Structure formats: C-alpha cells, structure tokens
C-alpha cells in the first residue's frame, strides 16, 4: 500500500474533528446569514491551511488567525455571532507550530504578526460596531488565553521525538562501534594465529622440504625404493608449503581469498593416489562421474575427504588396501554425490600417537558446509569406512 494513504486518512480525520464541531454548534448560537457566511469562508480557508500545516507551519497559523479575525470582526459588524468552537483550529495549528516549527525566526515572526493583526482587529472591531455585545472583550481573551499551552504541548512532543531520535542514533553508533571493535579483534586474532602457524609449522615444513631436496640431490647414493620415497616426500612438502602459504595469506587478509595455488579437484585424485602408492600403500579408485560436471566446491570437498582418509589409513592401518569410490548418483537431478573410502585391517604395526585427532572433525565440517553428511566407523573385518554424501542442487546454487 502507498505510504501516503495513512497520512491522508489522518488529515481527513483531523479536518472533521477540527471544523465539524463549529458547524454543529453554530445553529445554537446564531442562524443568521452573515454568521453562516463568515463561518463558511473561515472554515474553507482553515481546511486548506490545515492540509498545508506540515510544510508551512508558521504560514498556516498566521493565515488561519487572520481568517478567524476577519470572520469575527465581519460577523460582529453585521450583528452576528460565531460559535466559540471556531477557536479550535487555531489551537490545532498552534500545536502544529510547536511540533513542526523548527525555525525560531519564523516562529517569532509569526507571533509578532498575529500580535499586530490582533491590535488591528480590535481597532476595526471598535470602529465597525457600537454595541458592547459585539465588541471583543473578556470572552475573546478567555478563548485565546489557553492557546500558548497548545504550542507548548507541540514543542514538548517535538523535543521528545528529537531526544528519541538522538538516542537511536547513539545506539546505532554504539552498535557500529561494537561491530567494528569485534571485527578488529577478530582480525588481530587471525593475524596472531597466522604468525604462530608460520613460526611453528611453516619453518618446520620448509626444513623438511630442504632435507628432502638435499636427499634428492644425492639420489645416486640411495637405493631405488628410497629415491621414490624421497621424491614423494619432496613433492608433498612443496604442495603443503603452497597450501599453507595460501592459508596464512587468507588468515592475515580475509579479503585476499583467491589462492595462489590451483584448488585441488577430482582431476588430481590420480596424483593423490599415486602419492599414496609411492608411500607403500595400496589403493584403487572407482569413479562413475565426469569431474568437469561436478561443482567446484564439491570437487574440493571430495578431494580433501579422500586425502584425509588416505592419511588416516597410512597412520592407523599401514599396508592395508584402500578402496575409493565416487558415485555421482543422478548427476545433479536432485540426487547426491557419494564418496566412500574403505581401508582393510592393518598389515603392520601402526605408529604410536600418530595424528592429532582432528581429521574427522575437519572432514565433517567441510561436508556439512555443503549441506552434506559424513559418517565414519569401523568395518566388520577390522578396517575403517568414511562416507560423505553431498547434494548436487546445493552445490550448484
């Protein structure tokens, strides 16, 4: 609904409540033609001024006061009287002047103007009638005496509105300052974490890569199986260094979220499996979906799930065969993409204290971010199964 309708409705109701009482009470005061003529002209002017009261509060007040003065003096000169309720519009416009009259210069000018008009009206009233019954006196003064109270009520209402608006602005400023402080604190913490990760992890990882490259340089002195292991170690170190560099850069500056390294996808699963085989593991892949048809967020999630599952298999079940299955379901037609990694029973003794226990948590968070589900648990033959399902439609969105 157009926002103007409530205001027009309020204006119409105010016009009726302001001007109708004088019309209804006039027959009990004076039914002569001059009285009705003066009242009709006055109320016509008053209706127009009332509708313009918000835009021109001082002008509307002065115009209605002048119209009222002319009606009173004119009707008195003709020997007619008007209802005392003709002063009601003046009270309404005085309230409006206090509420909407933000310029003190215009308000003072309006008061001075009506004072001059009052003196002129009293002089004309004395000049146009000789009867004391129609000369303005205490009755007019009694009707005008409470009028300043209407202005004071309007001014008080405006002051309260300004105080409320100021309080709302202060509250909004406080909320913005609090949000800014929280964002700054978060960024400081991210920067601190990035510094700690750089000092603790990046240095050790760089040292690992340097040692691996040193061994590669002396590969002629190593047996064939050792050279393959060293090559895999150096490649894994370089990849981890690149990914860690991207992670630290994004931690320091979240706006700089574009990775320098290519984001892993399903096309790199073969290389990931080859690195597992180079480390002495056995793994087979079954994938019935074209990698290019899978949304990028799902490809990255599947890659990370397989990567972490293979790492867990090497840690906790060394030498065990691993089966990786990627099933596309209905291929984006309302189905789910399913990734399953199953390893058998360990062939050799697992390394004591291997891992930090956050691999499954990380996988679950990554899959849940795509509205997917991750399940993990032991199999009947002593192995371990990790299954991740992710909806196609959410990934496409």
Q: 167-181, 253-267, 296-310: which range is least confident on average? A: 253-267
Distance CA 51, CA 263 (A): 66
Pick from 317, 237, 318, 241: nearest CA to 280: 318
Using the structure block, give the residue that is written with the tokens 């009270």. Answer: 91
Domains and CATH numbers, the chain: 4-145 (no CATH), 262-397 (3.30.565.10)
DSSP for 255-305, written as a single string:
T----SSPPP-GGGHHHHHHHHHHTT-EEEEEE-S-GGGS-HHHHHHHHHH
**pTM of full prediction above 0.85:** no
Q: Please determine, for residue 108, whether its predicted confidence score (pLDDT) is greater than 80.
A: yes
Instruction: Supply the pLDDT for residue 3.
Output: 47
Point out the least confidently predicted range of 20-34, 114-128, 312-326. Answer: 114-128
H helical segments located in 52-87? 57-77
What is residue 2's predicted lDDT score, i.e. its pLDDT? Answer: 46
Kindly indicate the confidence band of residue 133, based on its pLDDT and cuts at 50, 70 and 90.
low
Cα gap 125→127, rounded to integer Å? 5
Question: What is the tens place of the pLDDT at every residue in 199-208?
Answer: 667 667 777 7
Cβ atoms 97, 110 nearer than 8 A? yes
- Mean predicted lDDT score pLDDT of the chain: 81
Spatial separation of the C-alpha atoms in residues 260 and 242, rounded to whole Å? 8
pLDDT confidence tier of residue 99, bands split at 50, 70 and 90: confident
- Say which residue, 397 or 27, is predicted with more confidence: 27
pLDDT in tens, 292-308: 888 888 888 999 899 88
How much is the average pLDDT of 183-187? 85
């Amino acid at each position: 609904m157009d926002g103007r309708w409530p205001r027009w409705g309020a204006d119409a109701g105010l016009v009726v409540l302001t001007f109708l009482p004088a019309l209804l009470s006039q027959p009990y005061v004076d039914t002569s033609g001059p009285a009705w003529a003066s009242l009709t002209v006055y109320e016509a002017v008053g209706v127009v001024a009332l509708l313009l009261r918000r835009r021109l509060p001082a002008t509307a007040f002065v115009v209605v006061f002048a119209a009222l003065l002319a009606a009173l003096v004119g009707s008195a000169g003709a020997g007619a009287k008007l209802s005392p309720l003709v002063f009601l519009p003046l009270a309404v416009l005085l309230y409006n002047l206090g509420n909407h009259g933000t310029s003190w210069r215009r308000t003072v000018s309006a008061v001075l103007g009506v004072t001059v008009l009052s003196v002129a009206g009293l002089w004309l009233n004395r000049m146009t009638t000789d009867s004391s019954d129609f000369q303005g006196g205490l009755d007019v003064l009694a009707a005008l005496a409470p009028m300043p109270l209407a202005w004071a009520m309007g001014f008080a209402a405006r002051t309260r509105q300004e105080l409320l608006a100021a309080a709302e602005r202060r509250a909004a400023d406080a909320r913005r300052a609090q949000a800014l402080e929280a964002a700054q604190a978060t960024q400081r913490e991210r920067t601190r974490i990035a510094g700690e990760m750089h000092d603790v992890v990046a240095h050790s990882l760089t040292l690992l890569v340097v040692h691996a490259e040193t061994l590669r340089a002396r590969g002629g002195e190593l047996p064939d199986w050792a050279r393959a292991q060293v090559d895999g170690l150096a490649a894994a170190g370089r990849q981890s260094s690149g990914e860690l560099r991207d992670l630290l850069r994004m931690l320091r500056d979240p706006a700089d979220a574009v990775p320098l390294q290519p984001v892993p996808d399903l096309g790199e699963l073969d290389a990931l499996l080859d690195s597992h085989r180079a480390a002495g593991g056995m793994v087979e892949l079954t994938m019935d979906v074209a990698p290019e048809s899978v949304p990028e967020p799902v490809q990255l999630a599947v890659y990370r799930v397989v990567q972490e599952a293979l790492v867990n298999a090497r840690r906790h079940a060394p030498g065990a065969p691993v089966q990786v299955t990627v099933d596309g379901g209905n291929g984006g037609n309302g189905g789910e993409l399913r990734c399953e990694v199953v390893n058998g029973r360990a062939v050799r003794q697992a390394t004591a204290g291997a891992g930090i226990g956050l691999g499954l948590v990380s996988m679950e968070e990554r899959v849940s971010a795509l509205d997917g589900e991750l399940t993990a648990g032991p199999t009947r033959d002593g192995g371990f199964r990790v299954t991740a399902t992710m909806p196609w439609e959410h990934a496409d969105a």
